[in-house]
Amino acid sequence: MNPNINSNISIIGVAMDLGAGTPGVALGPSALRYAGLTKRLEDIGYDIEDTGDIMAEKNMPPYQSIGKLKFLEQVVKVNTDLCNKVSEVMEKGRFPLILGGDHSIAIGTIAGILQYKNNPGIIWFDAHADINTEETSPTGNIHGMPVAVSLGFGHEKLISIGGDDKKINPEKIVYIGCRDVDAGEKRFLKELGITVFTMHEVDKYGMTEIIERAIKIAGTDTDGIHVSFDLDSLDPLYVMGTGTRVPGGLSYRESNFALEMIAQSGKLISAEFVEVNPLIDHKNRTAKYAVALIGSLLGEWLI
């Protein structure tokens, strides 16, 4: 186990798929547990506390929206609860490991971190930029908006989670693996000067240089690095069980190597893994891959 990573981990499940366009990721936390997550982390040497799942409200109409935003009230409620739970875990000196759920839960994760860390760096593994707002989103699905919200852009009910004054610094965000970015997102990323390593850069420079640069950006003059890992950052050849698959993504080995390098930096303070959908998976393969990736991020070495 990497001695620079907190030895006490609190698992926080978020059983919600209302931010996504494809149902099923609400079962993601259970799939990850079933794939042996707790035992794997205990075998590395961690003390594990499983806090259970934060649940979205049930018995609701099949479709709700406020303006263009789908299921806004429910997404706000879940992320507010998550913000409080992450803050509580970090206040106890434990490492929060959040299991999604769709990627809209990053709103609550980051808001919770900001209650305890003033200036976290963010490394965001994703096929998508997730920096849409209600005005730019082609779908109204809030899982395409968490970065925008965490920067302070978007619906007031979303950006108020955790406090209007607690937002991340665009200069300390790094994307890795992007290959499907909406037109409005492209303009926004350029305006804010956010670092984006698309698959083009990964192929051109190689993962070693990409991660070294990412750690330098997100880990210099910050309070540490939060990793937000969407399983669709991997190529669909490896992961069937995720809802917004885009060809040409990261390989399984590249992803493990990238996360191992982040672990070795000693700067990791929190992590979330999202968009595991067992309803469209085969024999829980995506969850098994996710558990292996979590092990790589948390210092599981072969020797």
Catalogue the active-site residues: 103, 126, 128, 130, 143, 230, 232, 275
How far is Cα 177 from Cα 235, in angstroms, rounded to an integer? 10
Structure tokens belonging to residue 145: 């908006």
CA angle 18, 167, 133 (to 5 degrees): 45
Q: Which residue in 136, 230, 143 sits closest to 191, CA to CA?
A: 136
Contact 274, 106 (CB under 8 A): yes
How far is Cα 205 from Cα 184, in angstroms, rounded to an integer? 27
Give start and end residues of each alpha helix (H) in the chain. Answer: 28-34, 37-44, 72-91, 106-114, 146-151, 156-159, 183-192, 199-205, 207-219, 252-265, 285-297
Residues near 35 by Cβ (< 8 Å), separated by ≥ 6? 284, 287, 288, 290, 291
CA-to-CA dists, residue 254 to 11, 82, 122, 211, angstroms: 25, 30, 19, 11
How far is Cα 86 from Cα 265, in angstroms, rounded to an integer? 23
Q: By three-state DSSP, how is residue 219 classified? A: helix
Q: What is the CA radius of gyration of the chain?
A: 17
Q: By three-state DSSP, how is residue 301 classified? A: coil
How far is Cα 229 from Cα 80, in angstroms, rounded to an integer? 20
